[in-house]
Amino acid sequence: MHFHIITIFPSMLDSYLGESILARAIASKKIKVTTYNPRDITKDKHGKVDDRPYGGGPGMLMTAQPILDTVKKIIRKKKTAKWKVIITLPGGKMLSNVYASQTVKKYTDVIIICGRYEGIDARVKKGLKVLLPKGSSIDEVSIGDYVLTGGELPAMVMIDVMSRQVVGVLGKIESLEESRASSSEMYTRPPVLLVDQKKLIVPKVLLSGDHKKIDEWREGKDKKKLGK
C-alpha cells in the first residue's frame, strides 16, 4: 500500500512514522509513505496556498490549484494504480476498522489531503472527479466528532489503522490481538498490585491456564461492557 500525503507541514509526520511498527513496515516495504507540499507547486507569485473565502466569513481557505496540480503529478507517475482519495474533514464519514480494511483490499494507493485554516476550496472535490481515472474513489473522512487544527493528525491515524490491515505489517502475536481487539479488560504482572493499602488482584481465571474458561470470561466482560 502506498500512501501519498498532501500537506503543508510534511515534517509533522516524520516522528510518528519513524518509530515502531510503522517504521518497520516502511523499512520492509510493506507500506510506503510519500509526502507532497502544495507550496512546492503553487502558481501564486508570493508562494501562497490559501486565500479569503468568497462571500466572506472568518479565516482562510486552502486554494484548489496547488492541491489539484499535486494530485495530477502523483497519478501521472503510476498508470496502473487503483486510487482512493481521502479529503480529511471533521464532518466526513467516520473512520473505522471496516473502512480501513475495505480500502486496503480494494486500492493500491491512497492519497490523503490534509486541510488547514478553515478548510479546503470545494472545487478540490469537484476537480478530483475530473482528474481521477475510472475505478478511483473519493471520500471525505473524519476521525472523530471534534475539530482539529489540521488534517495531519487524521492522516497519521488513517495510515496507522490502514497499515494494520496490510498483510505482514503486524507480527503473529499482534495479529492475534487484532482479532481479539474486543478484550476490554487486560492484566499483566504482578498478580497482586498494592495501591496505598489496597490490594488490586488479577482475576483468578486469567491465572488458571484454562483457555476455554479465559475466552468465556473475556466474552462475558465484553458483552457486559457493550450492554448486550
- Please give the residue ranges that form the binding site for ligand SAM (CB under 6 A): 88-91, 114-116, 118-120, 142-144, 146-151, 154
Complex with ligand SAM: residue 38 or 119, whichever CB lies closer: 119
In contact, 183 and 222? CB cutoff 8 Å:
yes
We find the least distance from the C-beta atom of residue 146 to ligand SAM, in angstroms, to be: 5
202 secondary structure, DSSP code: -
We find the least distance from the C-beta atom of residue 156 to ligand SAM, in angstroms, to be: 11
Complex with ligand SAM: residue 59 or 191, whichever CB lies closer: 59
Complex with ligand SAM: residue 132 or 155, whichever CB lies closer: 155
Dist CA 204 CA 31 (whole Å): 41
Dist CA 58 CA 190 (whole Å): 55
Contacts of 145 (CB under 8 A, 6+ apart): 90
181 secondary structure, DSSP code: T
Complex with ligand SAM: residue 33 or 120, whichever CB lies closer: 120
We find the least distance from the C-beta atom of residue 117 to ligand SAM, in angstroms, to be: 6
We find the least distance from the C-beta atom of residue 88 to ligand SAM, in angstroms, to be: 4
Complex with ligand SAM: residue 149 or 188, whichever CB lies closer: 149
Angle separating helix axes 97-106 and 152-163, nearest 10 degrees: 70
We find the least distance from the C-beta atom of residue 115 to ligand SAM, in angstroms, to be: 2
Q: Indicate the burial class of 57 (C-beta count within 10 angstroms; 0-12, 13-18, 19 or more).
A: exposed
